[in-house]
Amino acid sequence: MTSDLRRKLFWSFLLAFLVYIGLILYADWRMLADTLSVFPWGWLPAVLGLTLINYAGRLIKWHWYLHLVGVDIAFADSARIFGIGFLMVLTPGKVGEFFKSVMVRNVTGTPVAVTAPVVLAERMTDGLAMLILAGLGLFAFADPAARLAAAVALAGILGVIVVVQVRPLALWMLRFGEQMPLTRRFAGSLVQLYESSYTLFRPRHLLIAVSIGIVSWLGEGLAYYLVVRGLGAESSLPAALIAVFIFSISSIVGAVVATPGGLGGTEGSLVALSEQLLGMARTSASAAALLVRFATLWFGVLLGVISLLLWPRLLIEQSSQPSAVRRPPSIP
């Protein structure tokens, strides 16, 4: 692990500490301890199991995406890289997840420019899936921050997809970039980047990826429902749908604020929306935010740490490894 990455992770853990101290103070730590003591901890395996459904779906999409861009990699190596990637969500804006492309290069010799769009496509299709899960209720609630975050996320995702799929426009932009001093030397990498992106965002591929994302993120949305149900929310289908809505929108807010792991933005939205839409007291809402973030964000980070300890060799480039990827067609 590079010193720069270690430094970023250190500041991320410090930010997490400050966020959770603030959340504990907001909830009143004595009342929070009492609330957590009555939570049915026997439900925790089910909460983690639903989170694992999310992880499994995203792993399948990750490996399938690598196959689409022509990377010849064993599923076991793909899964190990994906596991280490959980640790990278703690970098600002999750940019550290692009380190997965470096690990793919280390294993297969595939240029980073070929697989970097896979990481971008993962995030974008996840965002679309969560917006779909939020559904028509997205603009039904008087929370301007949630509405604005969702609108910005949707506009950004659709904008990138449109530009990539309008091939004449994208090729013109690439040719223009070849003439600019700042981007001229990266022209070859930009071509590889575009060709992979064009393949990943084809309508059929996009439909499959978003469908996988809906199933995956529904798992974590239902995990949040189990948490709030265990802390006093009513047991009903409407309450479950609202819980999925809250979790989806809060995750989008966290992505838009671009803090490491969505820290602060996600927790704040979870608390505010659960108070407003589920009628939860602030202590119960704060306890629910802490529990679901443990079961989703920090459970994943733990898997990432374990993966890194088990397979540190993935961080080392195999210089003798030949490139195992199709060459993208040249730009006309």
Q: Which two tokens stand for residue 27?
A: 């909830």
In terms of pLDDT, which residue wins out, 75 or 147? 75
CA distances from 150 to 130, 133, 250 (A): 10, 12, 9
**pTM score:** 0.82
pLDDT band at 316 (very low <50, low <70, confident <90, very high): confident
Considering the chain, what percentage of its residues have pLDDT values greater than 70? 81
Looking from the CA of 174 toward its CB, the CA atoms found within 13 Å total 22
- For residue 331, give the nearest of 224, 149, 188, 131 by alpha carbon: 188
Residue indicated by tokens 């979870």? 270
Domain range summary for the chain, segments of one domain joined by +: 3-34+41-314
Residue with tokens 């289908």: 237
Least confident stretch, 19-28, 94-103, 145-154, 179-188 = 179-188
Cβ-contact 251, 268 below 8 angstroms: no
Of 206, 241, 208, nearest to 224 (Cα)?
241
Confidence of residue 74 (pLDDT cuts 50, 70, 90): very high
As a 3-state breakdown, the chain gives helix, strand, coil percent values, each rounded to 5, of 80, 0, 20
Q: pLDDT tens across 182-198, in order?
A: 555 555 556 666 677 77
